[in-house]
Amino acid sequence: MQLTGADILLECLLEQGVDTIFGFPGGAVLNIYDSLYKYRDRIRHYLTSHEQGAAHAADGYARVTGKVGVCLATSGPGATNLVTGIATAYMDSVPVVAITGNVPLNLLGKDSFQEVDITGITMPITKHNFIVKDVNDLADIVRRAFYIAQEGRPGPVLIDIPKDITAQKAEYTPAPKREIPRRTEYISEKALAHAIDLIRSSSKPLIYAGGGVIASDAAQELLEFAEKINAPVTLSLMGMGGFPATHPNYTGMIGMHGTKTSNMAATQCDLLIAIGARFSDRVVSKVERFAPHARILHIDIDEAEVNKNVRTSRFIIGDVREVLRELNKRLERVERREWMDYIQDMKTKYPLSGSNGKDMLTPQYILEKIYELTGGDAIVATEVGQHQIWTAQYYKFTRPRTFVSSGGLGTMGFGLGASIGAQVGAPGKRVFNIAGDGSFRMNMNELATAVEYNLPIIEVIMNNHALGMVRQWQNLFYDSRYSQTTLDRCTDFVKLAEAFGAVGYNLTRKEDVEETIRKAMAQNRPVVINCEIDRDLKVYPMVPPGAPIDEVIMDMGD
């Protein structure tokens, strides 16, 4: 049948199982938005306040659901406003398809009004991108984009569609959604045998797991693997929820703000099993002193990550879930009692400090209360900064796809848009966004979106009137020269929330935390809780930049 390019686009989105788009209209995508009006009963469009919010919402939706998130923007500034969100998804391997409009074909390359080369701009931050120059190619390009976004290591794909392509007609033939195969071609018996030999000969193994465990839906297989070989498990920031934080084998996060137990275990182990993790600088720090006594077994879907940052002894390239299933079939249970007793002793000796029983209001206490009052059953998004690390440390994530945070790019302003996508993707779940006052200011306009669609997100602002993490570095490494990190501004976040149509609460006392959280959870609309915390609170443990990860600062006295 003959359809316009805009209608072909929407039919192809339906083929891919898309029922949700986050976007913002403009001239170059008017034909698409006109078609969206016709398709409004089958595809719901969420109008964000800013295109960056749309990209982050698509990202949060994808992280929580495991499906592809879709965002839509017009040409020029609309397209460039997606860039930070696309880069965020790229760094964290999140499947997103970004659709942009562009000027008509005959105006391309002529510095036309609202024209940018968005495919050129996004080439380094997408798995692939397309510009559609023939309406007859549109359906195939959309189908390929969704396949590429999900196949292998997930990531964002961009489709740029000139306006005249969306108006022209072409023959549309429906096609079934293409199956996404799990990558198994390199999982050989030889590679598995080498891995098993390393595991069996190890007396002090450590499992270091990352976001690849969540991307491949391998949390159950990881749990079985850890219990079979009886090894401690540490997670990267992106791995949160991939292994239950309540499990006795869990040692906490690893790296710059990892627990002393995790960092010492990495330093003392004789085998480090990296699963779906990329040995980022925030984990490894001083490369030549990282896991100095260990052979390294690396399991990852992306061969480009192997031997990129840290040299490995053996590796297996393939889908993490499939690799772990094959290993679990071949492994028997072992005890390793001496090593695990040592790990448990370390956990007892070097616990996270928590709220320390102080009378003051602390982020640790607030997060522990959120965990308690939600039964650990919430989805928790974060912005980027001290509050992000406190969340990873003190909220016990026990299930995958419940922690939504920008790890690789470290994008301030990510969390509110992402929490919108998370709430849309998981409407039956309670969604919290943990923010700092600096991050909240960046994209607080998305409160209008949450209110418009009555999304009961609870925004928790750890308000220390500072850019907390940068200030912490200035205190520790720049002789307390607080250059441009103090935020003594007059903004009243409660009144701001009310102006947007949300509910606002001020929280200044520890004894009011439980009641305030309960009141927020009883609301069926967006809530902002402004938590007034001390400006000089710091994130510990901390490894100074460039130092070995076993040189851990536990508090100000170290």
Question: Do strands 69-73 and 96-102 pair parallel, antiparallel, or not at all (unpaired)?
Answer: parallel
**C-alpha pair distances (Å), 514 with each of 357, 358, 363, 497, 521:** 15, 16, 13, 20, 11
Question: Do strands 2-4 and 169-171 pair parallel, antiparallel, or not at all (unpaired)?
Answer: antiparallel
Structure tokens at 245: 């934080």
Q: How far apart (Å, rounded) are the C-alpha atoms in residues 30 and 78?
A: 13
**Amino acid present at 357:** G
Q: Does the annotation count 469 as an active-site position?
A: yes
Structure tokens at 345: 């002793």
Q: Does the annotation count 127 as an active-site position?
A: no
Q: Does the annotation count 38 as an active-site position?
A: no
Residue 549: partners with Cβ closer than 8 Å, 6 or more residues away = 254, 255, 256, 258, 263, 266, 267, 283, 284, 285, 286, 289, 290, 543
Contact 456, 520 (CB under 8 A): no
Q: How far apart (Å, rounded) are the C-alpha atoms in residues 469 and 503?
A: 28
Element (H, E) at 2: strand 2-4
Q: Find the catalytic residue in 322, 469, 474, 500.
A: 469
Q: Does the annotation count 279 as an active-site position?
A: no
**Amino acid present at 132:** V
Q: Find the catalytic residue in 51, 221, 305, 322.
A: 51
Contact 379, 429 (CB under 8 A): yes
Query: What single string gives the DSSP state of each residue in 80-125?
Result: HTTHHHHHHHHHTT--EEEEEEE--GGGTTTT-TT---HHHHHGGG
Provide the CA 315 distance to its chain's centre, in angstroms. Answer: 25
Burial class for 138, CB neighbours closer than 10 Å (0-12, 13-18, 19+)? buried
Complete edge-to-edge strand list for the sheet that includes strand 128-131: 44-47, 20-23, 69-73, 96-102, 157-162, 128-131
Give a three-class secondary structure readout of 249-287.
CEEEECCCCCCHHHHHHHHHCCEEEEECCCCCHHHHCCH
Q: Find the catalytic residue in 163, 260, 347, 369.
A: 163
Q: Could you check whether the bond before residue 541 is cis, i.e. omega within 30 degrees of 0?
A: yes
| ∠ Cα 69 24 494 (to 5°) | 90
The dihedrals phi and psi of 510, each to the nearest 5 degrees, come to -60, -40
**C-alpha pair distances (Å), 274 with each of 205, 239, 311, 323:** 11, 11, 12, 12
Q: Find the catalytic residue in 15, 67, 114, 228.
A: 114
* Radius of gyration for the alpha carbons in the chain, expressed in angstroms and rounded: 24
Q: Find the catalytic residue in 113, 123, 177, 556.
A: 113
Q: Does the annotation count 369 as an active-site position?
A: no
Structure tokens at 59: 């990202």
State the catalytic residues.
51, 113-114, 163, 469
